[in-house]
């Protein structure tokens, strides 16, 4: 370890990595919020005349609102990352790819894998 030279610190790489972690976090949050909506709407559909229907509907509406917020956060993080990568491509030590997965695809995956897991 004594003979190894450290690579010089590249603040552009660090910022891109931080932005990518933010995209991953918002993607995971979006996936989880989608699963919550599926569950809460499913409960209403499974037991539509339940004693606590008003509470179930209220919970489902709150989950839907949280899902909309998560969609906005994910799309914003993805666009910011892609813009940063595009504007600073020549300053990176390693090539960075744009993030191409849309919020619609995340929601589709949540539906697809909801019943499998």
pLDDT band, residue 89 (cuts 50/70/90): very high
Evaluate whether 82 touches 99 at the Cβ level (below 8 Å): yes
Q: Evaluate if pTM is beyond 0.75.
A: yes
Q: Report d(CA 117, CA 113) in Å as an integer.
A: 6
Query: For position 51, what pLDDT does the model report?
Result: 84
Average pLDDT over residues 24-42: 96
Dihedrals φ, ψ of 51, to 5°? -65, -30
Q: Report d(CA 10, CA 14) in Å as an integer.
A: 6
Q: Report d(CA 17, CA 30) in Å as an integer.
A: 20
**pLDDT digit string (tens) for 12-30?**
999 999 999 999 999 999 9
**Res 1 pLDDT > 60:** no
């Amino acid at each position: 370890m004594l003979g190894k030279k450290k690579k010089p610190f590249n603040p552009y790489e660090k910022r891109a990595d931080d932005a990518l972690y933010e995209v991953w976090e918002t993607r995971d949050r979006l996936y989880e919020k989608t699963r919550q909506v599926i569950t809460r709407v499913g409960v209403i559909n499974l037991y539509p005349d339940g004693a606590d229907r008003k509470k179930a509907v209220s919970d489902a509406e709150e989950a839907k609102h949280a899902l909309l917020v998560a969609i906005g956060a994910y799309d914003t993080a993805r666009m910011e990352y892609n813009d940063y990568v595009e504007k600073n491509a020549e300053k990176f030590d390693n090539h960075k790819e744009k993030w191409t997965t849309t919020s619609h695809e995340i929601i589709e995956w949540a539906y697809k894998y909801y019943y499998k897991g």
